[in-house]
Amino acid sequence: MKAKTIYVDEINSSTATTYYTVPPNTRTKVVLLHAQHDTGSGAKDVQIFINDGATNNHVMHAKALSVGDDVNFGVSQTSYLMMETGFTVKAIATDTGCQMLLTVEESNYI
């Protein structure tokens, strides 16, 4: 098993952008998915999507974050999201000033 943490300094505010793709012959467990809004003013909508390798994005979570707010999306110490080869994690924010932290554990198919 290989752990990997991805930090996105500025979530794209014009299109849902892919920030992680499960490699070939791999399953990935999402153990942390965190977003924050640290600059600017007003609330910014942050949406995190899981894409199953097809053209459809499935909203994992959406949240309006005020400056200084942060949120963990859909995973906890006792739960996780398992993704298959080709699945992606995408995100979009309504404006600049939002970051994302994603930690995954990758394991090879047996």
Q: What is the pLDDT of residue 60?
A: 79
Q: Is the pLDDT of residue 16 over 80?
A: yes
Tens digits of per-residue pLDDT, 50-100?
888 777 778 877 888 988 888 887 666 777 888 999 999 999 999 888 999
Q: Is 104 helix (H, G, I), strand (E, B) or coil?
A: strand
DSSP structural state of residue 38: -
Average pLDDT over all residues of the chain = 88
Pick the range with the lowest mean pLDDT from 13-17, 29-33, 39-43, 45-49. Answer: 39-43
Q: Is 81 exposed, middle or buried (0-12, 13-18, 19+ CB in 10 A)?
A: middle
Q: What is the pLDDT of residue 74?
A: 67
